[in-house]
Structure 1
Amino acid sequence: MAHPAPGQKTVLVTGCTPGGIGYALCIEYQKRGLFVIPTARKPDVLHDLAAKGMRTVVLDVTKADSIAAAHKEVAAITGGKLDILVNNAGRTHTHPATDLDLDDVRMTFETNVFSVMAMCKAFADLLIASKGLIINTSSVSSVAPYCFGAAYTATKAAVAAYSRVLRIEMRPFGVRVMVTMTGTVISNNATHNNRYLPPDSLYQRVKDLFEFRVTFSQTQASMPAEDYARQLVTKSLKPEVNLFWRNWFGRPDWFWYGGMAKLLWFGHSFLGEAYVDWASWPTFRLAKLQRMVEEDDKQKKLA
């Protein structure tokens, strides 16, 4: 079975189902000459990448025993080193905040947050051995009110906060941490579950707005996954430079890319939270519901 050539850099990517960002990242890293280790929960989704010469590993990032087994297998493949770990696996969650099922929310945190923590802990020794790079997946929604995405955005904000601390804690060991602030990207994300309104939802009478939001990431200035992957791989392979110049000439600590990402970066960085909130209000069209509620209140007063 395949092993890295002497001096060849290695990269492990989680969540590599065809049609998604992880799959596109594997293709792009292979084009750049890296030894790619794609992972996914289901072996059958890895067949295409294996046929392209990649060394696939079955991995359920929510299971401790699966992570331990994957670590052992990867260490044997690479000789005890890993240059890049891309924590891409994730779960969407589209529900109004007042409709959330907490068991479902816990599963989303398990997939989007706790698995990232578990993977970083498990693979720290291999990354230290190569003075490698961790890439954790957050989202521009972590700094913007992504309507009907309260649970999802909470997980992505948690990843960003965790990664900031991880960055300084791993610095003494020569391991870098990069965070993707991902905008809208065309992927298989819209095929996931958690996309319905309960019968007693406060938002049933604007169900059309909810359905608009369900496909938002796939229809609003959305970027092809291949374009996103090409830019992320390019940035991740740039040299390490002084912090002051890093975003312009080297590997950035924060990667803002995808549909609307640059706009939100500008709003968040220079105009402030109030502006982002103000701009988001018409985007998700909830003034329609507000008018309905105001009319209801008016009718109650007349009754």
Structure 2
Amino acid sequence: MSAKVKTVLITGCSAGGIGGALAEAFHESGYHVFATARTPSKIAKSLATAPKVTVLKLDVLSSDSIREAVENVKSQTGGKLDVLVNNSGGGLILPALDTSIEEGKKLFDLNFWAPIAVTQAFAPLLIDAKGCLVNNSSITGKIPMLYNSMYGASKAALINASETLRLELARFDVRTITLISGGVKTNFFENNQATRLPDGSRYEDEKEFIYGLSDGRLQANAVNSKDYAHKVVREVEKGTTGKLWVGSGAGGAQYAVRLLPQWMIDRLMEGHMRSAAPK
């Protein structure tokens, strides 16, 4: 591989998601893309067969799979990686009282511990390249949203860890960008398990509203994944570091967090969510 070609590895590149859109945007910007997924066949064929794209199997919950991906990238790049994008993640819409601890831990494994494990494994390659780490989080990690406690908590943990990594990696000339992502039109909700309240739930009267949040209707007016991805790539290219609020509603959420009292933020968020609920 030519030393002049910049490289990026992205986790969770299945077709129809943010990862796939990011892979295409980086590829269009001239990067050699390592497009990864737990099931590589889910990566869009147009991307998988494109020049300067290497498809890798990567299960971010498996230390052996992570280790194998690192060795594969090292063998092709001479031990360097310009950009690492931790994008893989999952969701869970359910009241906290109805969420089992086991379910919560599984979500934290995917949304928090997995990106930390991938970062640790690829850190030597990023440091050698004086590269850029990108962690994809959510505005839900900054603003509480009804029935998203476990998801929001996992993303809040990632935001804090990512911003601390920014400080710790700066001494090695590695930049860190923490994406505070708002609405993006993807198949995210299609790939998550359907919400079901347990028998005897105290939230039975909210059942239709809660189920409605799980069908993707909140993405109706979201930015398309291509525009989102190109915005992220532009920020990587121009040397951005720190928190980057991007996606539909992200700008307003950033303003709200900085300037509005919590009671007003709560009211605005609930109003937004209920406006999209089934009538």
Q: Same fold (TM over 0.5)?
A: yes
TM-score by length of 1: 0.86
Root-mean-square deviation (Å): 1.8
Distance 2:141 2:76 in 1: 36
Supply the AA of the counterpart residue of 1:176: R
Cα deviation code 1:121-145 (max 9, x no counterpart): 1011000000000000110111112
2:86 & 2:129 partners in 1: Cα distance?
Answer: 17
CA distance in 1, matches of 2:269, 2:220: 13
Q: Render the CA deviation track for 1:237-296: whole Å, top value 9, x for unaligned.
A: 113xxxxxxxxxxx142111111111101000122433312322333449xxxxxxxxxx
**Conserved 8 A contact 2:58-2:65:** yes
The residue that corresponds to 1:50 in the other structure is 48
Q: Gapped runs of 5+ residues in structure 1? A: 240-250, 287-303
Aligned partner letter, 1:110: D
2:264 to 259, 275, 278: 275
Q: Which residue of 1 aligns with 2:202?
A: 202
* Structure 1: distance between partners of 2:21 and 2:217: 17
Q: 1:47 & 1:283 partners in 2: Cα distance?
A: 33
Provide the C-alpha distance between the structure 1 equivalents of 2:12 and 2:104, rounded to a whole number of angstroms.
19
**Distance apart, 1:212 and its partner CA:** 2.5
Report whether the alignment pairs 1:41 with 2:38: yes
TM-score by length of 2: 0.93
Given residue 91 of structure 1, which amino acid in structure 2 is its aligned partner?
G
Amino acid corresponding to residue 29 of structure 2 in structure 1? R
Amino acid at match of 2:214: V
Q: How does 1:238-253 map to 2 (within 5 A)?
A: 238-239=238-239, 251-253=240-242
Q: Please say if residues 182 and 249 of structure 2, whose CA atoms lie closer than 8 Å, have aligned partners that are also in contact.
A: yes
SS, match of residue 114 in structure 1:
helix
Is 2:256–2:265's contact at 8 Å kept on the other side of the alignment?
A: yes
Is the aligned partner of 1:264 residue 2:264?
A: no
1:55 match: secondary structure: strand
8 Å contact kept, 1:60–1:66: yes
Give me the identity figure in percent: 33
Q: How does 1:184-199 map to 2 (within 5 A)?
A: 184-191=183-190, 192-199=192-199
Q: Which residue number corresponds to residue 9 of structure 1?
A: 6
* Structure 1 segments (4+ residues) deviating >6 Å: none
Q: Once the two structures are superposed, what CA deviation does each residue of 1:131-180 show, in whole Å capped at 9, x if it has no partner?
A: 00000011011111211111000000000000111111111111111000
1:70-89 pair list within 5 angstroms: 70-89=69-88
d(CA) in 1 for partners of 2:28, 2:158? 28
**Aligned residue for 1:98?**
97
> How many residue pairs get matched?
273
Whether the 8 Å CA contact 2:185–2:220 is kept in 1: the answer is no
* Shift, 1:18, TM fit: 0.2
1:72-99, Cα deviation, whole Å (9 max, x unpaired): 1111111100000000000111111111
Larger % of helix: which? 1
Q: Counterpart of 2:188 in 1: which secondary structure?
A: helix
* Structure 2 portions without partners, runs of 5+: none
- Matched residues in 2 for 1:138 and 1:275: separation? 23
Q: Helix, strand or coil: the match of 2:178?
A: strand
